[in-house]
């Protein structure tokens, strides 16, 4: 039996490349400002929430996996 040990586990998004492709008339100065704004909005809490939603969906449809409550950490 072969177990696959390699899989995609990083999410890399080049905001500048996206802006160049989607808004070709946008200047570099504007892209810098928009990148700064976007990075201020994007945080690990937001990304963790998305991952938790995916875990919940997978757990509900495939497994019996639930995230432990923070109260359980304190006990």
Q: How confident is the model at residue 72 (pLDDT cuts 50, 70, 90)?
A: low
- For the CA atoms of 44, 46, 49, 50, the dihedral, rounded to the nearest 10 degrees, stands at -100
pLDDT tens per residue, range 16-34: 999 999 999 999 999 999 9
User: Angle CA(43)–CA(63)–CA(67) in degrees, nearest 5?
Assistant: 40
């Amino acid at each position: 039996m072969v177990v696959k040990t390699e899989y995609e586990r990083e999410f890399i998004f080049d905001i500048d490349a996206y802006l160049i492709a989607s808004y070709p008339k946008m200047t570099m100065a504007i892209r810098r400002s928009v990148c700064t704004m976007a990075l201020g909005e994007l945080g690990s809490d937001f990304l963790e929430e998305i991952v938790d939603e995916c875990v919940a969906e997978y757990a509900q449809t495939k497994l019996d996996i639930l995230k432990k409550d923070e109260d359980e950490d304190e006990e």
